[in-house]
Structure 1
Amino acid sequence: QPGCLQYGHSGLVDLRTALEHSCNIFFYDVGRRLGVDTFSAMAQQLGLAAPTGVEVAEARGRLTWSSDGNYQAGLTLMAAIGQGNTAVTPLQLAAYAATLANYGQRPALHYADRAVSAATGETLWQYTPTFTAVQGGEAVFGPIRDGMKRMAQTTRVLREAPVVCAAKTGSPQLADTLPGGSHYVNSVLIGYAPADDPQIAVAVVLEYGGGGANAAPILRAVLDAVFGV
């Protein structure tokens, strides 16, 4: 019976507050009401466990479905916070962040935007940006963006960045157990900046990195490098 850990909030919790304070119980319950197949299908539309568009072979990853051989009701709750059978790549997480930043327009990703002849300087190839639309628009993605903006302000290292950013941390556990019976944890973070006029989207994954907040200094380093004066 999962319970609320009360990270800085009390009373009724809406989506914005749940994102701001990483309220697992909110997402457990929303996931239970939706059903795992419904939210996994949306996660795939948003870029998770889906081809990114890059020019080389890539890991596809997987989501959690009711048809999985090990499925039981509790797995729905785990999958609702990105665990369960879910396994996605850092590049898919970056595409996910970009989709949220673009109000549901998921970009095809590329490792380069052009190829230039070393001999002549002529542009031999340049990609044309393409997007896959995810339905929802401002009504759906506006509150998510607002919650991610609020979440970034709870972390000093991001609050003091050269631009206001939007971010969301994650702490997916691994099956391996520590001597005391607890689990190893990866540190995961997605974000984009500036929050109200996005120019970059970022994903940070630290294997065995502990809580998601441990990835925030890496996002801050990226923000300093891109937007610092």
Structure 2
Amino acid sequence: GLYAPGSAFKPAVAAAALTAGIDPAATVSCTGRYGFYSGYQPGCLQYGHSGPVDLRTALEYSCNIFFYDVGRRLGVDAFSAMARQLGLAAPTGVEIAEAHGRLTWTTDENYQAGLTLMAAIGQGNTAVTPLQLAAYAAALANSGQRPALHFADRAVNSATGEVLWQYPVSFTEIPGGEAVFGPIRDGMKRMAQTTRILREAPVLCAAKTGSPQLADTLPDGGHYVNSVLIGYAPADAPQIAAAVVLEYGGGGANAAPILRAVLDAVFGG
């Protein structure tokens, strides 16, 4: 399945920004409406924030205005290239055929300036698989070390305990290290604390939600929304990474109980 990641894509834009030398303490003023273009001024719900917003706060409260502005200054090709390095619209390593996915580029037939703004919040032409989202979450957790994914790491003879085959652990390295990925992990850790069901999980986790709109229009003129969530835990010494996609889920926070169930199963509820 291919899905727009919505705001779960924002850490990729943050990684591109930090790689380009943007100060994580630099702020963008969130007024609720992005006014750079006279004919197209998308908004922000301003959940939990307004006024000057830095990168960590923008991830914590999913500030659209911050990512519209940073994405526009970077350019869509720059942050899409970073997203691909992090595993989105890229092969995961699994043993069966998989959908390729796609990102948004200036070479797209329908490209115009406003599409950069939409792509910066994980919409536009961008569509990725849940497994790519999981690889992406793992890369963020590992400071840019993206693991090759497999359905199993080894096979063991149940009678003798002999290991019949085992995949070597392998990673693709995205440069930047702690300077790039530390502030992103901080923001994602803070984001998880805004959601009670994750805040009360058995271990501290890090997460980023997404609420991508679908083309389908509701009777009131609104749009159906999928629920997307990436996360990993424990936040300061990650052991697992996960992605959740709920079709017509109604917003990213609605995926939090599923991540919580995973955390309870792995770490004890």
Same fold (TM over 0.5): yes
Q: Which residue of 1 aligns with 2:162?
A: 122
**1:102-152 deviations in whole A, cap 9, x for unaligned?**
000000000001122356442111011000000110001000000000000
- Structure 1 position 38 matched with structure 2 position 89: no
- Structure 1 position 2 matched with structure 2 position 42: yes
Moved over 4 A (4+): none
Cα deviation for residue 217 of structure 1 reads 0.5
Cα deviation for residue 4 of structure 1 reads 3.6
**1:49-104 deviations in whole A, cap 9, x for unaligned?**
00000011111100011111111111111100110111000000000000000000
From 182, 187, 198, the equivalent of 2:222 is 182
Q: Which residue of 1 aligns with 2:65?
A: 25
Equivalents in 2 of 1:174, 1:10: separation in Å? 27
Q: Which moved more, 1:2-11 or 1:180-189?
A: 2-11
Q: Which residue of 1 aligns with 2:210?
A: 170
Equivalents in 2 of 1:50, 1:142: separation in Å? 23
Higher relative CO (CA 8 A, sep ≥ 6), structure 1 or 2? 2
Equivalents in 2 of 1:5, 1:110: separation in Å? 38
Equivalents in 2 of 1:70, 1:6: separation in Å? 29
Equivalents in 2 of 1:137, 1:20: separation in Å? 21
- Structure 1 position 81 matched with structure 2 position 117: no
Equivalents in 1 of 2:159, 2:256: separation in Å? 42
Aligned pairs (5 A) from 1:59-78: 59-78=99-118
Q: Which residue of 1 aligns with 2:6?
A: none
From 125, 130, 138, the equivalent of 1:98 is 138
3-state SS in 1 of match to 2:261: helix
Cα deviation for residue 32 of structure 1 reads 0.5
Please give the root-mean-square deviation of Cα atoms over the aligned residues, in Å. 1.1
Equivalents in 2 of 1:10, 1:37: separation in Å? 28
- Structure 1 position 140 matched with structure 2 position 180: yes
Give the partner amino acid of 1:162. Answer: P
3-state SS in 1 of match to 2:51: coil
TM-score, with structure 1 as normaliser = 0.97
Cα deviation for residue 7 of structure 1 reads 1.2
Q: Which moved more, 1:67-76 or 1:187-196?
A: 67-76
Cα deviation for residue 184 of structure 1 reads 1.1
- Counting matched residue pairs gives 229
Gaps of 5+ in 2: 1-40
Equivalents in 1 of 2:218, 2:186: separation in Å? 36
- Structure 1 position 218 matched with structure 2 position 245: no
Give the partner amino acid of 2:262. Answer: V
Q: Which residue of 1 aligns with 2:29?
A: none
Equivalents in 2 of 1:172, 1:6: separation in Å? 16
Q: Which residue of 2 aligns with 1:49?
A: 89
Equivalents in 2 of 1:117, 1:162: separation in Å? 33
Gaps of 5+ in 1: none
Equivalents in 2 of 1:5, 1:178: separation in Å? 19
TM-score, with structure 2 as normaliser = 0.83
Equivalents in 1 of 2:195, 2:161: separation in Å? 44
Give the partner amino acid of 1:116. Answer: V
**1:29-58 deviations in whole A, cap 9, x for unaligned?**
111111111100000000000000001111
Equivalents in 1 of 2:206, 2:245: separation in Å? 17
Give the partner amino acid of 1:105. Answer: Q
Q: Which moved more, 1:145-154 or 1:114-123?
A: 114-123
Sort the Cα spacing of 1:225 and 1:118 in 2 relative to 1 into closer, same or farther, 3 A.
closer
Give the partner amino acid of 1:199. Answer: Q
Cα deviation for residue 10 of structure 1 reads 2.6
